[in-house]
Amino acid sequence: MAKLTMVQAINLALHQEMKKDEDVVVLGEDVGVDGGVFRVTDGLIDEFGEERVMDTPLAESGIAGFAIGMALYGLKPVAEIQFSGFAYIAFHQMEAHAARLRGRSGGRFTVPMVLRMPYGGGVRALEHHSESREAYWAHTPGLKTVIPSTPRNARSLLVSAIRDPDPVIFYEPKASYRAFKEEVPDEEETFPIGESQIVREGDDLTVIAYGAMMRPTLEAADKLKEDDGIDCEVIDLLTISPLDDAKFTKSAQKTGRILVVHEAPRSFGPGAEIITRLVEKSFVYLEAPVRRVTGYDVVIPLYQREFDYLPGVDRIVSAARETLDFKA
């Protein structure tokens, strides 16, 4: 048991899985000698060699398609896209093939790969380095989309993703890469893909969030408790698709008032699906319109203004208050 950052925790998952299963290979731009631009794959090449830790040419579709081929043969590739903003170059490979080959071949071929990438704002990066567009993947039948929020769940979810027999898109909140540490057990740990987690119980309001948004969300919950005596139930989605609607619809039946937080652009974003599931499954319990606190429908600005774009504690708190104040 050690206190690790998320970068270290993900590294631990990769280390242990590569050690345990020689079919696990890692590939991507700068993942080898350099250890990844965020050092997530640090040391892997020394331990497992360049045959299993492959520095690839600079080509995202190439990385995805190459990984698909390896997976078809039976390997379990963990491919890194350097930033999620460049993953759209590989999008068609994931949509047309990774997501479909099991179905297309009637189960003869499968694509047990993970496509990992850092996503999201808040690290003073250049353009295309701060996007949060998980909805693209989530809308694609045949893909699973996972977004951890802490070192420990990043580690356990990545292990599950690597062992998953199907392709998993693994979005890593880069703003949380080194922002805090958490105890992560040395021994193996998995966490089921497709399951969300209630990280704080409460009766007044349900707040649904994930990834880097968990931190302002939990801070807002503290503030609401302190300032207003409001008890928030906070749900960390962890998996975006398949969406675990059981937990949040149940929570909504208790609180009747719900807030969804994400940094992705608002329209046609993940919040819309969550709200729709609530309408479909908990309609009669809703006491106020479900509100979303999200990124705006614009390109996230460069770093001087990125926190204007990103949902922060204040926006969450005031949306919570409005939701609680709502009277039909």
Ligand X SMILES: Cc1ncc(C[n+]2csc(CCOP(=O)(O)OP(=O)(O)O)c2C)c(N)n1
Catalytic residue (one of 97, 129, 139, 262): 129
By CB under 8 A, is residue 270 in contact with another protein?
A: no
Residue 279 binding target from another protein, a copy of itself, ligand X, none, CB below 5 to 8 Å by type: a copy of itself
Residue 72, Cβ neighbours under 10 Å: how many?
A: 18
Stretch that binds a copy of itself, among 5-13, 98-106, 181-189, 317-325 (CB under 8 A): 98-106
Our CA angle for 240, 109, 190, nearest 5°, is: 40
Residue 299, Cβ neighbours under 10 Å: how many?
A: 13
Among 82, 93, 255, 282, binds ligand X (CB under 6 A): 82
Please provide residue 79's backbone torsions phi and psi, each rounded to the nearest 5 degrees.
-100, 140
Residue 120, Cβ neighbours under 10 Å: how many?
A: 31
Minimum separation from the CB atom of position 267 to another protein (A): 7
Q: What DSSP state is assigned to residue 242?
A: T
E strand or H helix that includes residue 214? helix 214-223
Q: What DSSP state is assigned to residue 225?
A: I
Q: Which parts of 143-162 interact with another protein (CB under 8 A)?
A: 144
Sheet strands (E) in 72-204: 76-80, 114-119, 144-146, 168-173, 182-184, 197-200
| Four-residue CA torsion sign, 147, 149, 153, 159 | positive
By CB under 8 A, is residue 56 in contact with another protein?
A: yes
Tokens 């699906």 sit on residue: 273
| Catalytic (active site) residue 15 | no
**Pairing between β-strand 232-236 and β-strand 239-241 as defined by DSSP bridges:** unpaired
Residue 133 binding target from ligand X, another protein, a copy of itself, none, CB below 5 to 8 Å by type: a copy of itself
Minimum separation from the CB atom of position 299 to ligand X (A): 16
- The 3-state DSSP composition of the chain as helix, strand, coil percent (nearest 5) reads 40, 20, 40
Residue 129 binding target from another protein, ligand X, a copy of itself, none, CB below 5 to 8 Å by type: another protein
Q: Which parts of 285-324 interact with another protein (CB under 8 A)?
A: 296-306, 308-309, 314-315, 318
Between the alpha carbon of residue 16 and those of residues 24, 29, 38, 158, the distances in Å are: 10, 21, 19, 11
Stretch that binds ligand X, among 10-18, 82-90, 148-156, 157-165 (CB under 6 A): 82-90
- Tokens of residue 41, six digits: 């794959």
Stretch that binds another protein, among 6-14, 46-54, 202-210, 222-230 (CB under 8 A): 46-54
Residue 35 binding target from a copy of itself, ligand X, another protein, none, CB below 5 to 8 Å by type: another protein
- Tokens of residue 100, six digits: 């479909």
By CB under 8 A, is residue 64 in contact with a copy of itself?
A: no
Within 8 A by CB and 6+ apart from 278, the residues are 245, 248, 249, 252, 258, 286, 290
Stretch that binds a copy of itself, among 4-12, 89-97, 227-235, 248-256 (CB under 8 A): 89-97
By CB under 8 A, is residue 100 in contact with a copy of itself?
A: yes
By CB under 6 A, is residue 131 in contact with ligand X?
A: no
Residue 328 binding target from a copy of itself, ligand X, another protein, none, CB below 5 to 8 Å by type: a copy of itself
Q: Alpha-carbon Rg of the chain, whole angstroms?
A: 20
Q: Please count the residues of this chain forming the interface with another protein, following the rule CB under 8 A.
A: 83
Interacting residues toward ligand X by CB under 6 A: 29, 58, 60, 82, 86, 89
Residues carrying an active site annotation = 129
Interacting residues toward a copy of itself by CB under 8 A: 85-86, 88-89, 91-92, 95-96, 99-100, 103-104, 127-128, 133, 135-136, 138-142, 241, 243, 264-265, 267-273, 275-276, 279-280, 283-284, 286, 288-292, 297-299, 328
